[in-house]
Amino acid sequence: MSKLFPLIFLSCMFLACSTKNKAQNLDVAKTLESVGLQPVVKTDSEWKAELNDMEFYVIREKGTERSFSGDLWDHKGEGVYTCRACALPLFDSKTKFKSGTGWPSYYEPVKSEYIRESTDHILGYPRTEVMCNRCGGHLGHVFNDGPEPTGLRYCINSASLDFEERQDP
């Protein structure tokens, strides 16, 4: 019996994770449907064909670029920052602020339905990951030390973003 315990335990963990992932996928689908969006689903080889090495590392493998190394951390244009993987508008330049961290920082997304959050304790303390809700791409993390009106700091990798300049009407 003692030799079977690890196998039974792992099987239960797999089933629990599988059930949780299915529930999360249903929640994502419902959220996307409510704002008129379809999910973007691709294989790793399809993503690798579309993204450069750093973009793939950050967006698909949940990596982090070095601070002050991305092309958008000190960007000052007027417009919208979009998901580099699927072009979903994520953050407006009006919500961007200088956090001093070396990564682009925003105090709120364009629409809360456009991002997904997941909290982990991998580093020994709670940390909330931010992902694109349409393609599931890793963007960065959100912290509770931002400016008003939200008090939030969405600390986002430049490799996860593109920028679309605002067009005059």
Beta carbons of 147 and 94 less than 8 angstroms apart:
no
Confidence check: pLDDT of 6 > 60: no
Q: Which band of pLDDT confidence, cut at 50, 70 and 90, is reported for residue 103?
A: very high
Active-site hit among 83, 86, 132, 155:
155
Alpha helix segments (H runs only) across the chain: 4-34, 44-50, 53-59
Lowest-pLDDT range of 26-40, 89-103, 126-140? 26-40
Do 117 and 129 form a contact (C-beta atoms < 8 A)? yes
Indicate if the pLDDT at residue 30 is higher than 90: no
> Does 135 participate in catalysis according to the annotation?
no
pLDDT at residue 20 tops 50: no
Residue 81 pLDDT: 98
What would the mean pLDDT of 23-40 be, rounded to a whole number? 67
Token reading at 68? 């002050």
- For residue 26, pLDDT over 60 is answered with no
Mean pLDDT of 29-55: 86
DSSP of 75-88, one letter per residue? ---SEEEEETTT--
**Listed range (44-53, 77-86, 117-126, 152-161) with the worst mean pLDDT:** 117-126
Strand order through the sheet with 79-83: 89-92, 79-83, 161-165
Residue-wise pLDDT for 107-145, tens only, equals 999 999 999 999 988 888 888 999 999 999 999 999 999
- For the chain, the average pLDDT equals 86
Is the Cβ–Cβ distance between 37 and 125 less than 8 Å? no
Handedness of CA 87, 53, 116, 43 (dihedral sign): positive
Confidence of residue 23 (pLDDT cuts 50, 70, 90): very low
